Every structure is written in C-alpha cells, then in structure tokens.
Structure 1
C-alpha cells in the first residue's frame, strides 16, 4: 500500500548512512542482518506503527546490546521534544521478531542510520516530527548545526508533511535546507532547496528578515545553520495557495512532491506602491518528462515570468517589479518533484503619494510611454540588511529623475524616444550623486520634519529589532 511512499524516499549511500523501511525486514524469528559496517548510530521513526507491535521487534548486536523498536522510537531527551537519542552500534547488528512476515510487511516506519563521524558530533541532531515543537539552536548548544528531520506521518495529504513557522534568525547567520539526509561530504554547490540569505539572480546574497510559513513534504530533510535560529515545526500541511505575505522584505517556499497532482499556486504580495523592488525565485528539482517546466510569474497590469526545467542545482530568476501577486505553475510535472523559494524585496521610494492597490504606472520593454517622475522633494529610503540601518537623504527639485521601465506583452523593441530618455535618466542620476553627498548631513537634521511615511519605515525597523529577541 505504501510502496509508492517508500519509493519517494531517496536512498543515499555514503559510508554507512541510509534509510531502511521497517517493512523490508522478515519475521518468524529470522535474524535480519543490518548491512552496515559499525560503528554507527541508529534512529527509528514510526509514527503510525502501534506500540504493541514495535515492542516485539528488537535490534540486537554481537556484543549483547538489545533494544526494541518502541524503545528506540521514544528514546528522546524529553517527551515534549522530538530530539532523538540514538542507539550507538559498536558491533554487527540484527533485527529479529516473532511476528510473521505479513505483520512486518504492514509497518510504515523506517530506520535511519548515520555515519560514525555524524554520531560522534555534538553539532549533529536528529528530530522526529511527531508533534509540534520549538527548535532553537542556541539551546541545542551547537554552532554550526546540522538538524535532520524524520517524518513518517501518512495521515495527511500529501504524506510526510511538516509545517515550519515563526522563523526568527540571527542576521549574521546562514541557513540552508536540503532534501534527504546528509553525508560526510560537502553538498553540491547550489543544491539547497531553501536558504537565508538567499542567492538571488540580480541582487547577489540577500537576507530576508521575514520568512513566511511553509510546508515540506519529505520523509527526510535537513538544515545546516550558523548562529542562532528559532522556528516551530509540526506534522501538518499548509496550503500556500491564496496566502498573503507578511513583510515588505520576505521569502517563502513551495514544493510539489512526487505523489502530488500539479496545481497553480498564487501568493498575494503585501507592498507599498510608493516603492519599487524585486520579485524573484530559485527553482530546483527533478521532472521525469524532459519537456517539463516550472514557471514563476509576477502579476499586475502586466506579467513578468521566469520558466525553467528543474535540475540538481538552483535556477534563479528575478524581475524589478513587485506585483499584486505571484504565481507558481508547472507543465508536464506529473510524477516529478520540485522546490521553489520565492522572495519579495522592497527597495527605493519612488513616490510621495499614499499607497495604492495598483502598481506604479510603467513603460514596457518595447513601449514608447515613459512615466517620468520629477519631485520637488523625493525621499529615497534604502534598507541595508547586512547592517540593519536606514540611510535617508533628500534629493531636491530637478535633481531626481526616475524612469521606470517594464515589459509589456506584444511589443518587441524599445522606441528611440524610450532609449533617449533612459540615457538621460542615467546621466541625471550620475549628476545628482555629488549633490546628494553634500547635503547628506543636512538631511539628518531634516528627517524629524518628514511625514508619517518615515514613521512607518522605522516601525518596520523596530519590528526587525524585536525579531532578534527570541520568544
């Protein structure tokens, strides 16, 4: 019944680590040899298997160690935590039971075996996602940390789903998430399915202060972290379709498992249309059909999109616009698995008008209409996430010329008028840079006189400061 479920697990072999389905062992007192050279560490996740059954199945070693699978399942630091304590195997081990083959074949759980190096590391932690639990790396006393998560809960659709929420991350830290389980070797470059800071196409590395709630539908996955990280994980599924982002600078995650049917997913984007910004994504995965594609689109009056065939390394895409929403869709993705990390990064203020529900009017890549805004006083707010500072400076009358160019479907090339005005915009920005430097000191005195728009941005900064204080 669950053959497809186990086929979806990536069985990796590097040194000794592996995942072994419990239903692969025979009953009737047969000694099932665990084909791994000791020493190693052994964990069990068996969410749906009954305690009465698991108590009758034993792991035995040649040096007289013995533990039941039920003992291993509940071998935890605390009943309120999923942090597992392993059985450390020092000699040849076997699985044995008086149950018959039919009873063994009905099991749903699996055994996870790590390498000797991983088992000896205080920075290597394994969690069973069998309950809601808060994870904080500083309390685990590990930096860097490798956090492995096991999920054998099949009582949901899709199976083996985990919801991650309430993410709070030290600004100096790095987090990368991978499918499967780790080896002793370094991961393939850019093979992460999620990361923060984000490796973006066009902006370089960007730290998102807000990480949106998301689901991971994998039996095994892991995080590699530095500095402090806090989040809540629970066995559940969160449908991203129709969800609205909660921050002007945020990132989120969506995946389609091999057993899920493809569908379009729409994420509503919170935005302030006085500011420009960037929408983008990283896509990774595997589709059995070589014609398969995954597309991420930013949608407003017009749409900008990036489409790719998922591979073993992330493919990045971005556009210099933030629309009312973004959509994730696929073509010929049946039986495939793909992962999408999306991000929305607000940038410079381009208007003093109040926020609207529509995007700023723009020209297109092939258009001839230019929206040129010359303000008597235009404030540009630039957020620098690496230092968590706001730099404010005033550009006075005729010194600020902003040209916004955007793709519009159906037009194929820029008009000469658009190119000339774009060149003029570039020259104007270069000419105003010395002036902006000279008046920078004066602007610090003027910041107290700015309107409620400033207060809103400082409230955002204060919110980010509060996020650094873990609950």
Structure 2
C-alpha cells in the first residue's frame, strides 16, 4: 500500500489541541459541549468500537450540522491509508447520544480537536493506525499525528514500524501525545534519526541508514520530520526479544509494555567478522537504542 502525504486537507496551526477519550462523555442525551474556540477541526479514531454504537453518537454544531461518530470515523478519502479528513466546525458544538452512561463508559475511541488559524499555515496531518499501511512522506517539513484506538492487539494500542527508508539529509523525531503550540522541550523526543547520544559532550550526532523494526505502545504520538522518508506502520505488537539486527550499523527502539513483568531483553547484533571489534550503546529512559559494529 502506497501513500504520499502531500494533500494538505488539514492545514492548520494548532493553538488549543485536545485529545478526549469518548468514554469521558455523558450519555442519556446530555449535551457535552466542546470547550474550544471555533473554528476548529475534529478527528475521530474508534477502531474497536461497534459501528451501531458509533452511529448513535452525534456531533451537533450551532449552525445545525449533524455528524454521527461513525461518519466522523470513516472520513478517510484514501483507499490504501487511513489519513483522516478533518470535519471543520465554524461555530460551537456539542456531543450527545441516547446511549446510557454505562454504554458510553465502555467506549475505547478518541476525538482530537485541532483549532484552526486561517492566517497561518502548518503542514499537519492525522493518521488512524487502524490497518497496515505504507507512508511515503514528501521532502517537506511536516507534523503527523498518529492515533491508535485498536484494543484487539495484545498488548493493546501498539503500533509497529518497519521497512524504514530515510535519506541522509533528513531528520525525524517521535514524540509522545499530541502536538501543541509551544516548541518541544529539549530532548523530550522518544526516538530520533539522526541519533544524539545522551552523554555526548561534543554535540555528536549519528545518522543511521538502517532502522530496526520497532513498536510503540501509545494511543497518540506524533512525528516532526524534515526531508523525505517512508516506513510501514501496522496496529500490532512486535517483540524484539530474541531477534537479530539486520545490519552491522543500525539503530532501533524498545518500549516495555505497561503491564509486562520485568525481564531480560536480548538482541543479537550482526557482525562483519568475529575478528573486528565493535561498539554498542543505548540511550535509556525514552531514548533510542542504537547499535554500531565496525
């Protein structure tokens, strides 16, 4: 599946972003007003919620637009990928449903609010990690938010990234959660390429042409990238324990599942020759693992 993200369906500067779990809304026809300044865009990810249930939840705007959450979930104009087309809200809006409070509490999806400023432009896109897909990111500066509401995988809400292809003059940073107006704080990314070792005192960075297959256990994460690259992403878990690196110079990432007991994780590192010395290292606490072999 191929996809080139160049259609700026969501060209917006986010100034008051919100990520709301659907289970936090009230049912029984209560009006759950969205606390955001219009105009704003709405995105819904609800992979594991029943279609009949979602069809009974409504987003109603002051100018009388009515969208069910099933309609919002399915605003995906591309066949091979799940880029979500935003639903624009020009006035105030609220969420309401005739479902019981208990039925609403069992929902697992989420709604993302992106406030739009028409006078400024930021290349911004939202991808629903609801199926395997290949993303071809153009040679631009962009921000892409990934939403994963898949509760069928074990562990739940895991995204696996593989088949990485990146040019040496590009860079990419992964961050937990959703983007905000403020610049990211220094070294808050959870993975990057090029890699900057945490203890480097000379601001050394190392670009890796090879990136190992890895998983992220996050319901929401985003990337900021500069330059073109591509990778596959799928709503599944990949266990790196017992695997081998597929290149002698490579980098990767490991995130321990939340409810998994502590254990030893072993990765066999590829070597050019048993007679050649090499070096391995890791950045710990939400920093990438990297492997080098000389």
TM (norm. structure 2) is: 0.89
Structure 2 equivalent of residue 6 of structure 1: none
1:195 Cα deviation after fit = 0.5
Distance 1:270 1:160, change over 3 A: same
Structure 2 equivalent of residue 150 of structure 1: 147
Query: Where do residues 176-187 of structure 1 align in structure 2 (5 Å cutoff)?
Result: 176-187=173-184
The answer to whether the Cα contact below 8 Å between 1:27 and 1:101 also exists between their aligned partners in 2 is yes
Structure 1 gap segments, 5+ residues each: 1-13, 285-338, 348-471
> Are residue 282 (structure 1) and residue 259 (structure 2) matched?
no
The answer to whether the Cα contact below 8 Å between 2:141 and 2:224 also exists between their aligned partners in 1 is yes
The answer to whether the Cα contact below 8 Å between 1:136 and 1:231 also exists between their aligned partners in 2 is yes
Q: 1:194 aligns with which of 191, 196, 208?
A: 191
Aligned counterparts of 1:64 and 1:149: Cα–Cα separation in 2 = 30
The answer to whether the Cα contact below 8 Å between 1:118 and 1:124 also exists between their aligned partners in 2 is no
> Does 1 or 2 have the higher relative contact order (CA < 8 Å, sep 6+)?
2
The answer to whether the Cα contact below 8 Å between 1:173 and 1:227 also exists between their aligned partners in 2 is yes
Aligned counterparts of 2:44 and 2:58: Cα–Cα separation in 1 = 12
Aligned counterparts of 1:183 and 1:40: Cα–Cα separation in 2 = 14
Aligned counterparts of 2:215 and 2:158: Cα–Cα separation in 1 = 7
1:122 Cα deviation after fit = 5.7
The answer to whether the Cα contact below 8 Å between 1:277 and 1:344 also exists between their aligned partners in 2 is no
Structure 2 equivalent of residue 223 of structure 1: 223
Aligned counterparts of 2:87 and 2:116: Cα–Cα separation in 1 = 12
RMSD: 1.9
Distance 1:218 1:73, change over 3 A: same
Q: 1:341 aligns with which of 284, 288, 292?
A: 288
Secondary structure of the 2:288 match is: strand
Aligned counterparts of 2:135 and 2:247: Cα–Cα separation in 1 = 22
The answer to whether the Cα contact below 8 Å between 2:167 and 2:209 also exists between their aligned partners in 1 is no
1:15 Cα deviation after fit = 4.2
Query: Where do residues 31-110 of structure 1 align in structure 2 (5 Å cutoff)?
Result: 31-110=31-110
1:280 Cα deviation after fit = 1.2
1:87 Cα deviation after fit = 1.0
Secondary structure of the 1:136 match is: strand
Aligned counterparts of 1:28 and 1:120: Cα–Cα separation in 2 = 39
Q: 1:162 aligns with which of 159, 162, 168?
A: 159
Aligned counterparts of 1:122 and 1:186: Cα–Cα separation in 2 = 13
The answer to whether the Cα contact below 8 Å between 1:17 and 1:183 also exists between their aligned partners in 2 is yes
Secondary structure of the 2:35 match is: coil
Structure 1 equivalent of residue 5 of structure 2: none
Aligned counterparts of 1:50 and 1:17: Cα–Cα separation in 2 = 26
Aligned counterparts of 2:117 and 2:254: Cα–Cα separation in 1 = 32
1:178 Cα deviation after fit = 0.8
> Are residue 263 (structure 1) and residue 266 (structure 2) matched?
no
The answer to whether the Cα contact below 8 Å between 2:39 and 2:89 also exists between their aligned partners in 1 is yes
1:120 Cα deviation after fit = 6.8
Structure 2 gap segments, 5+ residues each: 1-13
Count of residue pairs brought into register by the alignment: 277
Deviations 1:276-317, CA, capped at 9 Å, x for gaps: 332111122xxxxxxxxxxxxxxxxxxxxxxxxxxxxxxxxx
Deviations 1:238-273, CA, capped at 9 Å, x for gaps: 011001001111001001243333222111100123
The answer to whether the Cα contact below 8 Å between 2:177 and 2:221 also exists between their aligned partners in 1 is yes
Secondary structure of the 1:127 match is: strand
Secondary structure of the 1:221 match is: strand
Aligned counterparts of 1:118 and 1:262: Cα–Cα separation in 2 = 48
Aligned counterparts of 2:217 and 2:189: Cα–Cα separation in 1 = 15
Query: Where do residues 102-141 of structure 1 align in structure 2 (5 Å cutoff)?
Result: 102-117=102-117, 121=121, 123-138=123-138
1:181 Cα deviation after fit = 1.0
